[in-house]
């Protein structure tokens, strides 16, 4: 008796990404009957047997985050009770990851709570991309295959020869310094940081650029573009500091509030994101370029399923290790 | 050193019920800073110390159920990390409780999943009312104080002398037979059942009334009024069967879709519900009468906190045990 | 290296059922040395290696329920320590399932406790039949393959052309209404209910039949025949209401106290049960017909082991879904 | 608000011991409604509120061991769901403790399984006496207050001046050597051992006494007298070796099979046991002397409840530490 | 009956800190018999009863980290089995915290493993100081009272009027930027960063200072001084960049390898650490100034034990919130 | 797709044993990068993919026990996060096993704590040899393959014809009586015991030999030779009692303090140990004979991995079952 093939489910946060992943893997998405009632209660029924199968379920914790998360939880419950062999959750965007520490007394650590809830229902593995902090991996006891979008994003700059000496990678605030340094290393560039100075009694010193940026092309990099404020303010500081051209790069396009309008109006020339979050038609805009990470997820699923290492998936186009 | 007093929190599903409970207990609600971002992510911060306190947190799993449930989960995480002594969750309406068994292969049992998630975060107790099935208590390992609205609802009929021989309590479908029998016992009345006959090849036999209802006043009883269909269809069957007057009674007023319109247009004279779910202004209608169960919850909290039995809280006005 | 074959154990509650299941599967029961000492302490030793094997262990929680349950628990401990790959427990009759909710304050929920104990020792799956309430599935986190005897029991009526218009399926009390409706649907018949009226101040109204039964053949259906009282009392009410012929049907033949005598003396013509509980010679009687469910269990084990769906096993002979 | 008093329950394995313990503590046993149905299923209902109380429940795992154990488990479930503050189980005789290791492949370790089941239901503490092996304490994660009967048993010999040079404490087989040495130390006596020699090819060498016993009074000591064989065979060997008088001492009087007859007929002058197991009238015999350990249990409960050390309870009448 | 007083234990990693904490609290350390055998196996015995007591046990995971950690684990086991009410672990220096994420494939996350082990033995709370990353709090499910040394360290600069415009706080590498910004905020100073530039093909560019430091006094700040390399290399870069005076500040003085010699020889004028790690006599040197954090720990224990908030303990001398 | 082969890791406690086991199995040890920092913090990185592999990791808990144990724990964490299929720990010498019970109040049970920690990280199986007490198996819920060195040690005596009538196996104190009996059975010899008499008021009676030893060759057997005292003192008692020749046998050569000198000077002719603990060159001495148990471990791994029984591995050369 042979073990049956693995199956892929897509629960609706990123329908196109799910289809793309299945296509790359040469398979079809398995079908599930999902309904949401007037009071938001979710009903799901897996349509065909999953007994003994290894399941990969794709669902980002993106807007509406609570509904999307509960859809995932309910799927896990149904799949476990239906005798799935293993349940591997693929979370392109891990919402609540910014709540990863108590910044003040009596705050929650919601990202750990999400991890606890997922593990309490018996998942075997998490596959995700660009966690807000690497430490969130440690919120899980099960294996986390933590993918990076940098190789895919970097590829764009390689292809367009945006490399080297006249390029500087800039962190829009101090918390992105690590990310900027890594991307700079990948592109063999220098890095700099825009910072809101701590003594805000002197308003005109509010934003300062540290590092050599004058006369260079700048790549602003962050993990998330949420309201867009931090990218746009940083772009203004860079402009004042004499950069010649600006790109904004981030894997996760949350684009809440007036993000789209602000970015469109800004001096930023191009906004490069991935499809870990599906950008609806209403939020598409001229400067936006969306790089697909479907092949990274698909290749990861293929390797996980055939017991191969994914180590080289997180290296740059010319093999620079960007994880360190 | 003395143990500090207990504290009550209300997370927003039923603001008025929370205030009413606190008032009855002669205390104030403790304060919490809650925000919800554009993508629905929730942030909470408990504003004053809860170290060593016994907390009672009021939050129904009502519309929007996933947001309200996650608000509760995040509170629990924050409270536990803030060194609360115990966290007692007061859930006036337990959403997802209808998903309490696998009616078909590969369905979830969402109510158990909700129980697992609550317990995975360290709650000490659940206080809830009128679970869809009593067995849901058994989904928990922690104590469940399972309150009943029947004494409060029955009180209305006692006060209005709606008792005895010319009254019949009617289950709108077979699954409510147990509930109808209990309420009948409480009101010293007979019971009957409206049922969708199983052989639906004969359309005019679709609904049948079993039991003696002709010339009587009828009380239709259920645990939930959701879309209102089952109540309204049953009322039509009763009308045809010769009842003289009709009441619809149910603790949980979900009122989704066109429930309000349908009930308003129906032959039902009065719709009696409780405030386990807050009925927004837009859903108020002339026939609606909302009985408050605040005192039942308040008295339960008082007794739990002073180690007294709540056994008699679930008896009828003239001491009939309605739980059996 | 290939995975070794699965093994079946039978611990003694239903020796003949175990043998029958193994025979259908074309295999032998694996051997175990079981002893019970004078003070009832149980000793078990599995006689041959079970390393890496998937085990199916058949043991009902029937009389003597505590001894039979502990035999199962001790087996699980021995099998886990002996490196079995998975332990799948086959419980034809799930004793203690009637203790599935707190009907009064300070009662246990023993069925959940049984579930907790089984899971605490590391079982992978429960295969059982006709739980007292479907919700007991939700007492488990592991998969429960919940089989139904209705297809097998219904087959008897199909074969004997006991179908259709002159037949009525009757619930002996209100708690079996759901079961009666399902069986009626399967046999394309009507249903009715015998109920102990709530206002017991009027003795001659004690039992009432709701629904049209006069001049019909009636099938009384329940999940358990324990002392037989409820079946026999209902049969008296039906007789008074004018039924022409009566069958009593129930999967689980507990037959405690004077059940056998009472049924033998009653107006019931035939008592149809299954072999989920082994009926000892001393309890055999002329009206008793025992339908074997061995093939249902055997086919379930075969499919579980080869990762096939069991969905259609719980349909009627002419494919009516009886689970809904 | 003050914490309510602790409560003591006795579930029926040792009714007299329970009453005696309560009496010493100056309190009454709390009441519980316990029933056992024809198929052995147990029902329990705690009759008065236990909210916030610390409970001490007395139940030995003695004949019938499985019924008695399940009575304990069901009580724990009911008490936990009824909001008891802590559940402390007092197990005078810990049945299944002899199954504490795998002596052969594919055996269970039932004592660990018992521990797991107790802990899975949320007990806080075990109070027990004379475990078969001290290591069984380590099967629990919760505290075990492991009491010893030796001080109480030793007291008898002190009172009767059975001490010193002409006395020898004898292990009836090699596994009791540790116990014999401890008791010898307590009585300031020598020790010896009766052993079934390993090379049983020479029948007349089957039992040998090692140590100096000739002309002495001997005390045979074990933890359990089960069938009595080992005590009686040892007594024959001792008689042959020239002892002048013999006592058999053991805390746990299992007395199964023909134990009573064998002991009565033997050369043993007196059999000294405790009341950890209730000896029914039918098993009383002339040589039997039963020492009550109620005061040891009562004093332990008192101290546990007032946070005092029990260390000195396990010392001999003249303060010899018998635990080492 | 009143609850007994809390007790404090010190297991030997920081004997003087333990004594100091107890003294501030006006109590004595409780006694424990600890031995370490030739093969490093540890034995501990708590000397007096801890029944029902709340225990605070002080033990850093500092050199030798594994022995010190196991001493803590063994204490927890002994205390739990001895019926302590709660076990609160005070870990002045949390070793292994730097292993908080997988920087490369197939690395462990040892800090999470440490958290799992502590929780698996039943601790109730962790009190620690200056975790390498705030996210490590989220590795625990139990409350973590995360103290900061900055108020205590900042106090030195306040007292010595080392504040304001001619002062700059410098991160010795990019990973300390957050820490430097916080300390700068506390001292109302600017901040800067020394970084190893990513393109290390140009050796003389290896270290660069970003931010305005020329002519200023600089405070280099990190969480740990381990081998001292990063502090000393940063000091050389700062010297080259024209700073006039330098301080090195860090709470945790690991001082491994040649740290002491390197710091002594460097241009750094003063090295300010705390006593979270005990600096042995052999590692004392002229520039070293050790600020005691005993009062911070003592005050935390006092408040935890009397259910008071510790929120203001982590503010600066003039009430700047340094946690954000 | 086929399952990949198992892999063996050796973490450094017994390098030669690891190599020998791998060689017998015809495979290579998998590579791991292990470092230990100045403060003893351990870093490990598994060098090649272990996805889906069954891992066998060899690491004794021998001197330095805490470092060696933590190396094992950190490996397990890394392997689990790296998606190993199963982690089977091979512990040739199980340190801390002597702490298997509370001999006095407020002691830990460290062996259980070790078991808890291993299980908290997700191991699947323990393979170990000659536990101090068999009951330690019961500290685990996962399977323990408990190997015995007696067949290998006995083989030496078979080969050298050291069998039968003029041979006596002697326990150096009462706690080794069980072991001596088993070994005697295996060699068809008699047994005896050397004991420190309990009444130590008579100094010259301090050590007594029970059993017939005069004129015989004696084999002293224990599970551990730690400081050597108990072996050497027993040898003196035996010499006085007239034995002609003496061997000391024990699987685990801890050899702490002056063990080597004491044994070298004693009347013992040969010291027979195994390589469960690696004896460093400095501790080698002329009388020492080290029997390798590599083939026992290798054969166990082979069988575990191919689902074969290991039952006969624990029998004597002529098939005597030594486990009973």
At residue B116's C-alpha, the angle toward residues B113 and B117, to 5°, is: 90
Q: Are residues C228 and C181 in the same domain?
A: yes
Domain that holds residue A78: 6-147
Q: Are residues F157 and F51 in the same domain?
A: no
Two tokens, residue A158: 């390689």
CB-based burial of residue C202 (10 Å sphere; 0-12 exposed, 13-18 middle, 19+ buried)?
exposed
pLDDT of D320 over the 60 cut: no
The reply to whether C109 touches chain B by the CB within 8 Å rule is yes
Q: Are residues B62 and B183 in the same domain?
A: no
The reply to whether F49 touches chain A by the CB within 8 Å rule is yes
C71 Cβ neighbours under 8 A, 6+ residues apart: C11, C12, C13, C34, C42, C44, C59
Judge whether C311 lies within some domain: no
CB-CB under 8 Å, B308 with D49: yes
The reply to whether D1 touches chain B by the CB within 8 Å rule is yes
Percent of chain A with pLDDT over 90: 77
The count of CB pairs under 8 A between chains B and D is 27
Mean per-residue pLDDT, D163-175:
86
**C220-234, D253-267, F177-191: least confident range:** F177-191
Q: From chain A, pick out residues whose CB is under 8 angstroms from the CB of B74.
A: 108, 110, 113
Please give the backbone phi and psi of residue E180, each rounded to the nearest 5 degrees, phi first: -65, -40
CA distance D42 to E29: 51
Judge whether F305 lies within some domain: no
- Which of C115, C130, C147 terminates a domain? The answer is C147
Percent of chain F with pLDDT over 70: 92
Mean per-residue pLDDT, A293-318:
89
Q: Are residues F99 and F157 in the same domain?
A: no
Q: What is the CATH number of the domain that holds B16?
A: 3.40.50.2020
Judge whether E299 lies within some domain: no
CB-CB under 8 Å, E197 with A138: no
Mean per-residue pLDDT, E187-204:
69
Q: Are residues B48 and B36 in the same domain?
A: yes
Judge whether D1 lies within some domain: no
Q: Measured between CA atoms, how close is B26 to chain C, in angstroms? A: 28
Mean per-residue pLDDT, D26-49:
95
pLDDT of B152 over the 60 cut: yes
Two tokens, residue B77: 């995480």
The reply to whether C52 touches chain D by the CB within 8 Å rule is no
Q: Measured between CA atoms, how close is D120 to chain F, in angstroms? A: 13
**Residue F78 is nearest to which of E37, E45, E107, comparing CB atoms?**
E107
pLDDT of F100 over the 60 cut: yes
CB-based burial of residue D159 (10 Å sphere; 0-12 exposed, 13-18 middle, 19+ buried)?
exposed
- The whole-chain average pLDDT of chain E stands at 91
Give the residue on B whose Cα is nearest the Cα of A68. Answer: B66
**Residue A143 is nearest to which of F1, F3, F82, comparing CB atoms?**
F82
Give the residue on D whose Cα is nearest the Cα of E120. Answer: D141
- Which of F130, F147, F164 terminates a domain? The answer is F147
CB A133 within 8 A of CB A123: no
Q: Are residues A59 and A182 in the same domain?
A: no
**B52-61, C201-210, D70-79, D255-264: least confident range:** C201-210
CB-CB under 8 Å, F51 with A309: yes
Could you write out the DSSP letters of every residue in F242-281? Answer: T-SEEEEE-SEE---TTHHHHHHHSS--EEEEESSS---G
Q: How many CA atoms lie within 13 A of E69 on its CB side?
A: 31
Question: Per residue in E152-176, pLDDT tens?
Answer: 999 888 888 777 778 999 999 888 9
Percent of chain E with pLDDT over 70: 92
CA distance A248 to A265: 13
Q: Are residues C133 and C161 in the same domain?
A: no
Mean per-residue pLDDT, D197-203:
50
CA distance A135 to E302: 31
E248 vs B173, more confident: E248
Judge whether A202 lies within some domain: yes
Judge whether F316 lies within some domain: no
Mean per-residue pLDDT, A62-84:
98
CB A179 within 8 A of CB A191: no
Two tokens, residue D300: 């332990």
F94 vs E211, more confident: F94
Q: Which residues 57-96 of A have a C-beta within 8 angstroms of B? A: 62-67, 69-70, 73-75, 77-79, 81-82, 95-96
pLDDT of C164 over the 80 cut: no
Q: Are residues C109 and C183 in the same domain?
A: no
Rg (CA), chain B: 21
Length of chain D: 324
CB B72 within 8 A of CB B119: no
- The whole-chain average pLDDT of chain B stands at 91
Q: Are residues F155 and F203 in the same domain?
A: yes
CA distance B125 to C249: 41
Q: Do chains C and B touch (3 or more CB pairs under 8 A)?
A: yes
| Of E16, E17, E12, residue with least CA distance to E31 | E12
Of the pLDDT bands very low, low, confident and very high (cuts 50, 70, 90), residue D185 is: confident
Residue E14 carries which DSSP code? S
Q: Are residues A140 and A157 in the same domain?
A: no
Question: Per residue in F230-282, pLDDT tens?
Answer: 999 999 999 999 999 999 999 999 999 899 999 999 999 999 999 999 999 99
What pLDDT score does C318 carry?
59
**A193-197, B43-47, B226-230, D25-29: least confident range:** A193-197
Mean per-residue pLDDT, C173-195:
88
CB-based burial of residue F285 (10 Å sphere; 0-12 exposed, 13-18 middle, 19+ buried)?
middle
Judge whether D306 lies within some domain: no
pLDDT of D319 over the 70 cut: no
Please give the backbone phi and psi of residue D135, each rounded to the nearest 5 degrees, phi first: -60, -20
- The whole-chain average pLDDT of chain A stands at 91
CB-CB under 8 Å, B106 with A49: yes
Helical spans, DSSP H, in D87-228? 110-120, 150-159, 177-187
CA distance F67 to E95: 14
| Secondary structure of residue C163 in the 3-state scheme | coil
Q: Measured between CA atoms, how close is B30 to chain A, in angstroms? A: 13
**Residue D80 is nearest to which of B143, B306, B308, comparing CB atoms?**
B143
Q: Which residues 142-181 of B have a C-beta within 8 angstroms of D? A: 143-145
Give the residue on F whose Cα is nearest the Cα of C122. Answer: F141
CB A272 within 8 A of CB A248: yes
Residue C310 carries which DSSP code? -
Q: Which residues 191-230 of B have a C-beta within 8 angstroms of A? A: 227
* C-alpha distances in Å from residue E111, one per residue of A146, B123, D321, E99, F74: 18, 26, 42, 6, 10
CB-based burial of residue A217 (10 Å sphere; 0-12 exposed, 13-18 middle, 19+ buried)?
middle
What pLDDT score does B102 carry?
94
What pLDDT score does D202 carry?
47
- The whole-chain average pLDDT of chain D stands at 91
Q: From chain F, pick out residues whose CB is under 8 angstroms from the CB of A125.
A: 83
CB-CB under 8 Å, B257 with A110: no
Mean per-residue pLDDT, F14-20:
98
| Of E198, E123, E231, E212, residue with least CA distance to E168 | E212
Q: Are residues E131 and E159 in the same domain?
A: no
Q: From chain D, pick out residues whose CB is under 8 angstroms from the CB of C45.
A: 104, 106-107
Q: From chain D, pick out residues whose CB is under 8 angstroms from the CB of C257.
A: 38
Q: Are residues D85 and D69 in the same domain?
A: yes
Percent of chain C with pLDDT over 90: 77
What pLDDT score does F300 carry?
97
At residue F108's C-alpha, the angle toward residues F106 and F112, to 5°, is: 145
CA distance E311 to E315: 8
Give the residue on F whose Cα is nearest the Cα of E99. Answer: F43
Q: Do chains F and B touch (3 or more CB pairs under 8 A)?
A: no
CA distance B39 to B27: 35
| Of D206, D290, D212, residue with least CA distance to D248 | D290
Q: Measured between CA atoms, how close is C132 to chain F, in angstroms? A: 32
- Which of B147, B162, B180 terminates a domain? The answer is B147
Two tokens, residue E246: 């330098």
CB-based burial of residue A235 (10 Å sphere; 0-12 exposed, 13-18 middle, 19+ buried)?
buried
CB-CB under 8 Å, C143 with A83: yes
- The whole-chain average pLDDT of chain C stands at 91
CB-based burial of residue A319 (10 Å sphere; 0-12 exposed, 13-18 middle, 19+ buried)?
exposed
CB-CB under 8 Å, E102 with A134: yes
**A110-124, C150-164, C189-203: least confident range:** C189-203
**A196-210, B116-130, E47-61, E71-85: least confident range:** A196-210
What pLDDT score does B321 carry?
55
**Residue A184 is nearest to which of E112, E178, E198, comparing CB atoms?**
E198
CA distance F69 to F47: 21
Interface residue of E47, E61, E69, E70 to substitute, partner F, most F CBs within 10 Å:
E70
Give the residue on F whose Cα is nearest the Cα of A138. Answer: F81
CB-CB under 8 Å, D62 with C67: no
Q: Measured between CA atoms, how close is E254 to chain F, in angstroms? A: 8
CA distance A148 to A322: 9
Mean per-residue pLDDT, A148-164:
85
Mean per-residue pLDDT, B231-235:
94
What pLDDT score does D3 carry?
66
pLDDT of E40 over the 70 cut: yes
The reply to whether C133 touches chain B by the CB within 8 Å rule is yes
CB-CB under 8 Å, B184 with C193: no
F160 vs C41, more confident: C41
Most confident segment among B154-168, C168-182, F177-191, F214-228: F214-228
CB-CB under 8 Å, E122 with D307: no
Question: Per residue in A113-131, pLDDT tens?
Answer: 999 999 999 999 999 999 9
Judge whether A316 lies within some domain: no
**Residue A143 is nearest to which of F1, F48, F81, comparing CB atoms?**
F81
Q: Do chains D and A touch (3 or more CB pairs under 8 A)?
A: no
Q: State the total domains in chain E.
A: 2
Of the pLDDT bands very low, low, confident and very high (cuts 50, 70, 90), residue A207 is: confident
CA distance D250 to E234: 75
CB-CB under 8 Å, E143 with B122: no
| Secondary structure of residue D168 in the 3-state scheme | strand
pLDDT of A217 over the 50 cut: yes
């Amino acid at each position: 008796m042979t073990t049956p093939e693995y199956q892929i489910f897509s629960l609706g946060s990123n329908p196109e990404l799910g289809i793309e992943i299945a296509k790359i893997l040469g398979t079809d998405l398995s079908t599930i009957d999902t309904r949401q009632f007037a009071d938001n209660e979710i009903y799901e029924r897996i349509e065909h047997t999953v007994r003994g199968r290894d399941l990969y379920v794709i669902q980002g914790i993106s807007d509406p985050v609570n509904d999307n998360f509960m859809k995932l939880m309910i799927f896990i419950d149904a799949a476990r009770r239906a005798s799935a062999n293993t349940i591997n959750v693929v979370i392109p965007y891990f919402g609540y990851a910014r709540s990863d520490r108590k910044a003040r007394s009596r705050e929650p650590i919601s990202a750990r709570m999400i991890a606890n809830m997922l593990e309490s229902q018996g998942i075997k593995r998490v596959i995700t991309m660009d966690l807000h902090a690497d430490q969130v991996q440690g919120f899980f006891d099960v294996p986390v295959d933590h993918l990076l979008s940098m190789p895919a994003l970097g590829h764009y700059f390689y292809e367009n020869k945006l490399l080297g000496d006249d390029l500087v990678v800039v962190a829009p605030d101090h918390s992105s310094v690590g990310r900027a340094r890594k991307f700079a290393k990948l592109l063999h560039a220098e890095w700099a940081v825009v910072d809101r100075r701590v003594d805000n009694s002197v308003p005109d010193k509010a934003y300062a650029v540290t590092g050599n940026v004058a006369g260079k092309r700048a790549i602003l990099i962050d993990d998330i573009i949420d309201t867009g404020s931090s990218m746009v303010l940083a772009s203004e500081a860079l402009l004042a500091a004499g950069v010649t051209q600006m790109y904004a790069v981030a894997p996760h396009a949350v684009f809440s509030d007036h993000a789209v309008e602000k970015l469109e109006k800004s001096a930023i020339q191009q906004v490069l994101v991935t499809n870990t979050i599906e950008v609806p038609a209403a939020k598409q805009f001229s400067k936006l370029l969306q790089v697909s990470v479907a092949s990274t997820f698909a290749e990861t699923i293929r390797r996980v399923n055939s017991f191969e290492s994914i180590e080289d998936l997180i290296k740059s186009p010319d093999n620079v290790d960007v994880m360190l």
